[in-house]
Amino acid sequence: MELPGLAVAIWMFVCFYALVGGYPNGKVRGACTSMIPCHGSSPQLPPEHTITVNTTEFKSGDNIEVNLAGPDFEGFFIQARDTEHLDGPAVGSFMLVDRRLSQLLTCGRTKNSAVSHTSKTKKKHIKVYWIAPGDAPKHVQFLATVVKKYRTFWVKIPGPIVSQPDVLSPTTPFHATSEVMSTSYPVSYLSKPFSALGCGSMKFCIRNPSNCDPGSASCFFLSFRKEESSVFIEMSGPSEGYLAFALSHDQWMGGDDAYLCVNEDHRVHVFTAHLKGRSRPLLDSENALEDVSWRLADGILQCSFKRSIRLPAYKERFNLDGIYYIFLADGEASQGGLIYKHHRQPLITNGPCNVTGPPQDIGGSRSPRLIKAHGALMFVAWITTVSIGVIVARFFKPVWAHSLLFGKEMWFQVHRMLMLTTVTLTSVSFVLPFIYRGGWSQQAGFHPYLGCAVMALTIFQPLMAGFRPSRHAPRRQLFNWFHWSTGTTARILAVVTVFLGMDLPALDLPDPWDTYTMIGFVAWHVGIDVLLEIHSYCLIRKVEVIEDDRVQILQSLTSAEAEGHLFKQVVLTIYVCGNIVFLIAFLLAINKI
């Protein structure tokens, strides 16, 4: 039996990851079953367009006028289906009225069983004729998908139901995006939540957070219990949309064996799918699951089922006695059973697992280790080392003017050491996402673009410093201005980039904690900077004025600032300690300790 509901769900899932070309010429045979255009967005509700017919009864061979009308639209797709089996094939055939606007398509085995557009020309009304077949079902409903523009469309707009004479009208309502998702196995209702009893001794468990109770409102739970030649699987989590897990040979989406529990109108349906890259998934024509049960209570979705360890008849199903990474994801689903892209990174086991091997009780991470390392190194570089280095160069020249370190002034050596550390940390951190992604990420928004700009400025700054003119050279002032402006620009861009990066799903930081922490750090740094500026200004104003022939002799800036050495050293100590606190808080959050 076909499972078009799953086709709808997974196809929408994929469309959120990658832009797929539309069908401006109306050749939409690939959407014959789902009637969904893969335009990278979800369908609209409620519909703006209507379907009308000139009669509600038909006999074999009758021609029924079908009209689709509404605000301007570019594309459309019309079919007639058995009212009692809307997931079934198209029924009957169509005849065109205007070949400039519409064309016939063949869906399944029935010729001319669908009508679509011929171009993106805007239209308000389409008229066609439906020809009733000799083997027509008792009730037939017309359905239409309408595309207003690329990302604005409606799926399976319900039209009138036409019936054969002397047949009672159907009473089951149908919704705009609803699909009947049927299963070929008996389904039962779970009477109580799952239990973690036996995890690590009798069954292989994955829990997030670690050691959580699957009956709690924050626990994601997945267990595998071997039973002779089969495995009994339990999946649970706080979701009113869908839960899904996948077996993968690596830590990337693609080539995976997936299982989905989808909530549709307070009933849970279990599906299997094969994820092949980020293209349209390949579904089993039949479901190989047994003993399916489910439960929805207190915002927790739970489902269980059994499947054989080996399924040679299903080429896309993995053998459960192999070693795989395991993904666990959750997300929202519409009332029609369509699933949407998960709003956060899936939970991924830290290493490959054999679910039929020795029982274990493990956890996982929603943030890959390389991405964690990337975030931690960037935070250390731009929140700690560079900030302290700037403070030292700006305010500590007179404090450490007579102190030498390796033959040079101490302030300069400390500043240079901290800045070179920043360059090293930034360079190492910069390559980690490319190693993890295997290239450029299209899902990270402006973060990688700004990151590249920061990296370029980070490399340019020490190169420019290598050509620094001598202290009294005429071009020294120009160099100082360029050095300051380049460093300031890099710091501002780095802070913005960190703000954007902290909200990316791959890092999986607690929201809105991450934003508040960064705001707190910026306020902390600006406050310390302002405090030291005010202190320096007050020292400058603390002068001795001696009037002699109208000449004012001011105490030198160096000697005035020297009076506040102790104060500056105390402030620097407090500032460094504060930065360490911010750093520790970030590292604890990124590791979920």
pLDDT score of 551 more than 50: no
pLDDT band of residue 3 (cuts 50, 70, 90) is very low
Q: Does 6 map to a domain?
A: no
Q: Does 18 map to a domain?
A: no
**One domain, residues 153 and 232:** no
**One domain, residues 102 and 215:** no
Contact 292, 185 (CB under 8 A): yes
pLDDT score of 173 more than 60: no
Could you write out the DSSP letters of every residue in 146-176? EEEETTEEEEEEEEEEEE-TT-PPP-----T
pLDDT score of 336 more than 80: no
Contact 129, 64 (CB under 8 A): yes
Give me the percent of the chain exceeding a pLDDT of 90. Answer: 36
Provide mean pLDDT across the span 458-477.
Answer: 87
Q: How many helices (H) and strands (E) does the chain have?
A: 9, 25
Query: Pick from 316, 337, 365: which residue ends a domain?
Result: 365
Mean pLDDT of the residues in the chain? 81
pLDDT band of residue 467 (cuts 50, 70, 90) is confident
Q: Does 17 map to a domain?
A: no
Could you write out the DSSP letters of every residue in 472-507? TSTTHHHHHHHHHHHHHHHHHHHHHHHHHHHTSTTT
Q: What is the pLDDT of residues 62-79, one digit of tens each?
A: 999 999 999 999 999 999
Least confident of 181-185, 427-431, 486-490: 181-185
pLDDT band of residue 255 (cuts 50, 70, 90) is confident
Domain that holds residue 420: 369-592
In total, how many domains does the chain have?
Answer: 3
**One domain, residues 460 and 496:** yes
The Cβ of residue 46 has, within 10 Å, a number of other Cβ atoms equal to 9
Q: Is the peptide bond before 209 cis (omega within 30 degrees of 0)?
A: yes
Q: What is the pLDDT of residues 108-159, one digit of tens each?
A: 888 899 999 998 889 999 999 999 998 899 999 999 999 998 778 888 898 9
Provide mean pLDDT across the span 22-46.
Answer: 70
pLDDT: is 175 or 271 the higher one? 271
Residue from 274, 248, 249 nearest 259 by CA: 274
pLDDT at 339: 67
Least confident of 9-23, 198-212, 290-304, 498-512: 9-23
Task: Report the CATH number at residue 108.
Answer: 2.60.40.4060
Stretch (H or E) spanning 125 = strand 123-131
Q: Does 551 map to a domain?
A: yes
pLDDT at 172: 40
pLDDT at 561: 52
- At 552, the amino acid letter reads Q
Buried b / exposed e across 274-288, counting CB within 10 Å, b at 16+? bbeebebbebbeebb
Give the Cα separation of 90 and 62 in Å (integer): 17
User: Which residue has 């089993």 as its token pair?
Assistant: 284
pLDDT: is 495 or 403 the higher one? 495
Residue 448 has, within 13 A of its CA and on its CB side, a CA count of 13
Least confident of 128-132, 204-208, 239-243, 586-590: 586-590
pLDDT: is 49 or 587 the higher one? 49
| Strand locations in 173-284 (E) | 187-189, 204-208, 220-227, 230-238, 242-248, 256-264, 267-275
Q: Does 104 map to a domain?
A: yes
**One domain, residues 319 and 399:** no
Q: What is the pLDDT of residues 496-522, one digit of tens each?
A: 998 888 878 777 776 667 778 888 888
pLDDT at 174: 36
Q: Does 12 map to a domain?
A: no
**One domain, residues 75 and 200:** no
**One domain, residues 271 and 394:** no
Give the Cα separation of 383 and 134 in Å (integer): 75
Provide mean pLDDT across the span 222-249.
Answer: 92
| Largest Cα span, the chain | 121
| Strand locations in 309-456 (E) | 325-331, 347-348, 361-362, 404-405, 408-409
Provide mean pLDDT across the span 251-266.
Answer: 84
The Cβ of residue 331 has, within 10 Å, a number of other Cβ atoms equal to 19
**One domain, residues 158 and 274:** no
Task: Report the CATH number at residue 253.
Answer: 2.60.40
**One domain, residues 380 and 358:** no
Q: Does 20 map to a domain?
A: no
Query: Pick from 113, 130, 163: which residue ends a domain?
Result: 163
pLDDT band of residue 542 (cuts 50, 70, 90) is low
